[in-house]
């Protein structure tokens, strides 16, 4: 179990670099909040967040700190750190393709998001990875209508196989709960900053064992 190994070594992590903190929205109605968040999505330049990921298994609830990065093109990089700040695992998404690097066991997997067994409960469905990226930073993806809002941010997004809940329903998001197939993954945003740096697909280090699909 990949995340069980990560949990054993993830107690603290490096902080995201100091940058402009994300400003909350101040709407008087849910409809106004929807308009404001849609405007922020259209102006989105990138974000970097210190996060905590919680994932229940049959034996324990895994909790690990890491860093979430999303750029303006909708590319995503989730990095889980060891206590000394080195990489424990990395998940990268771009244009419907995923790369997963297990840096603890020196294994790698690349393929379509639809073939990915695990992740954040959103990857692997029919939703484009660029839309997943927006949901992870609390912004409404274009073309998604099944979103409920509060005056302070998104509250819930429903899909046929996934429910995404924002607790509390504010922007920037605090805790995002992703429920799919009876499993819940929580992504807690601890610190979030604007970051316009474009992401690049991480290279697979020499010596990593190929094509190991993570079971999480």
User: Tens of pLDDT along 142-192?
Assistant: 999 999 999 999 999 999 888 999 999 999 999 999 998 888 899 999 999
Using the predicted structure, report yes or no on whether residue 17 has a pLDDT greater than 60. no
Q: Which two tokens stand for residue 38?
A: 């849609």
At 122 the pLDDT is: 76
At 124 the pLDDT is: 64
What's the topology of domain 2-194?
outer membrane lipoprotein receptor (LolB), chain A (2.50.20)
Domain ranges across the chain: 2-194
Q: Among 20-24, 164-168, 181-185, 199-203, where is mean pLDDT lowest?
A: 181-185
Q: Mark out the alpha helices in 73-169 (DSSP H runs).
A: 129-136
Contact 169, 30 (CB under 8 A): no
Q: Is this model's pTM higher than 0.85 or not?
A: yes
Residues 164 and 154: their CA atoms lie apart, in Å, by 10
User: Tens of pLDDT along 30-57?
Assistant: 999 999 999 999 999 999 999 999 877 6
């Amino acid at each position: 179990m990949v995340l069980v190994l990560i949990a054993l070594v993830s107690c603290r992590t490096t902080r995201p670099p100091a940058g402009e903190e994300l400003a909350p929205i101040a709407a008087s109605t849910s409809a106004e909040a929807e308009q404001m968040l849609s405007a922020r999505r259209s102006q989105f330049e990138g974000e970097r967040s210190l996060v905590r990921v919680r994932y229940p298994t049959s034996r324990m609830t895994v909790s690990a700190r890491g860093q979430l990065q999303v750029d303006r093109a909708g590319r995503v990089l989730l990095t889980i750190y060891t206590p000394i700040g080195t990489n424990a695992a990395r998940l990268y998404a771009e244009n419907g393709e995923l790369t997963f690097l297990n840096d603890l066991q020196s294994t790698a997997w690349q393929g379509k998001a639809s073939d990915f067994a695990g992740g954040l409960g959103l990857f692997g469905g029919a939703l484009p990875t660029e839309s997943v990226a927006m949901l992870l930073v609390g912004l409404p993806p274009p073309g998604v209508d099944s979103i409920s809002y509060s005056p302070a941010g998104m509250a819930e997004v429903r899909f046929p196989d996934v429910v995404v809940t924002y607790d509390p329903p504010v922007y920037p998001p605090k805790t995002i709960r992703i429920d799919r197939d009876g499993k819940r993954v929580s992504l807690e945003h601890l610190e979030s900053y604007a970051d316009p740096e474009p992401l690049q697909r991480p290279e697979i280090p020499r010596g990593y064992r190929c094509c190991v699909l993570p079971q999480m």
